[in-house]
Amino acid sequence: MPNASSGTRPSGPTAAGPTTARVVRIGGLLALAAVVLLFPSLAPDPFILSVGVVILSYAVLATSWNLVGGFTGYISLGHAAYSGLGGYATALLILRSGLNPWLALLVGALIVALIAIPVGIASLRVRGASFVIVSIALVLILQLTFQSWHTFTGGSGGLRVPRPFGADVLRPEQHERFFYLHAVLLALALLTWWLIERSRLGAGLKAIREDEDKAQALGVPTFAYKLTALVTSAFFTALGGGLYALWFGYLDPIFQFSILVGTYMVLMSLLGGVRSLFGPLLGAVVVGYAVEVFKSQYGDTQFHLVATGVLLGLVVLFMPDGVIPAITSFLNRRRRAASIREVSAEELARQREEATR
């Protein structure tokens, strides 16, 4: 007869699975932190280091976009409106008001968050394709406004942004400092996403994403939750745009308020996985690096746009949930199959033991 311990002892995969997954996550976080900390010293030249800054900037924007797109399912192609406003707000506060650059960065992001409140009240009343059209209209209106307002924004001639570290700091040192600053901002955005996901707000936003009408019928304050997500997303997007402006040193309304930038945010989030914490970061590494390589190899041609469109089509067709969810699903299926095989083997051994008695 089987003893008591054999009946109460959990099988290997069931007992070790959560612990192993936790160890893997912690190990992955430590490896990611090590890569970020060591990258500036391992970069072979200033160009590669500048590409690293661009990738982290994209990661900040994609993670910020994911605060509303990933949680609510509302796809905004005009999120460049908030990054562009953040850049211009930071620059204009420095130039017109003489604020400290870092204080201007924070104040500018707060101003953009306040602007996002009436914008959200107006735009979040529609859904689906209508919301996409409204988001595109917003960024196009801002582009035309900032192009035409020569006396205040510099118009089509652009706007020079003073360097926060002064002229004595060489360009490679600027890259290194801004690399770490973008890494800190990315960590804050990721932490915010993680905290929201585990909060009551996150549960409500996920309910909105799955079925907004049912969530509202169950008592979820859907409009307030959506507006909170949009304002939070706009705040971090503006911080990303302002920090990029301080690093790059120049603002052009055509680029700052470009639908292409908003499309990159969507593509990076979809590629990595909008429902995963590090999905936008993975997408930013892939898309950001590819875009910079295409630009350096093919100059002023529009080949990178073609490659971006092809990549977006492949993601939507073959990995609609993103790379990370696809890999996670594959590993879960493998683990489940291994667990079934092991349980079957144990059951067979028990039957043989009972047959011999």
Domain assignments of the chain as residue spans, ordered by start? 43-332
Residue 228 has what pLDDT? Answer: 96
Consecutive 10-residue averages of pLDDT for the chain (357 residues): 44 53 76 89 88 94 94 92 96 93 96 96 91 94 93 89 82 91 96 95 94 93 96 97 94 91 90 87 88 75 72 73 70 63 61 66
Residue 35 CB neighbour total at 10 angstroms: 10
Kindly give, in sequence order, each residue whose CB lies less than 8 Å from that of residue 289, ignoring residues fewer than 6 positions away: 51, 55
With vertex at residue 48, the alpha carbon angle to CA 46 and CA 54, rounded to the nearest 5 degrees, is 105
Q: How far is CA 292 from CA 43, 123, 175, 244, 287, in A?
A: 15, 33, 16, 16, 9
Closest by Cα among 225, 243, 135 to 189: 243
Are residues 272 and 282 in contact, defined by beta-carbon separation less than 8 angstroms?
yes
Q: How many helices (H) and strands (E) does the chain have?
A: 16, 2
Residue 189 has what pLDDT? Answer: 96
Residue 32 has what pLDDT? Answer: 86
Kindly give, in sequence order, each residue whose CB lies less than 8 Å from that of residue 185, ignoring residues fewer than 6 positions away: 60, 236, 239, 240, 243
The Cα–Cα gap between 55 and 47 comes to 12
Are residues 86 and 112 in contact, defined by beta-carbon separation less than 8 angstroms?
yes
Residue 2 has what pLDDT? Answer: 45
**Rg of the chain (C-alpha set):** 24
Kindly give, in sequence order, each residue whose CB lies less than 8 Å from that of residue 259, ignoring residues fewer than 6 positions away: 77, 78, 80, 136, 139, 140
> Which DSSP symbol is given to 251?
E
Q: Which residue has the tokens 């932490």?
A: 191
Class of domain 43-332: mainly alpha
Residue 137 has what pLDDT? Answer: 94
What's the predicted TM-score (pTM) here? 0.84
β-sheet bridge partners, residue 160: 250
Q: How far is CA 54 from CA 2, 180, 181, 276, 278, in A?
A: 62, 12, 12, 22, 17
User: Quick one: tokens of 214?
Assistant: 């049912």
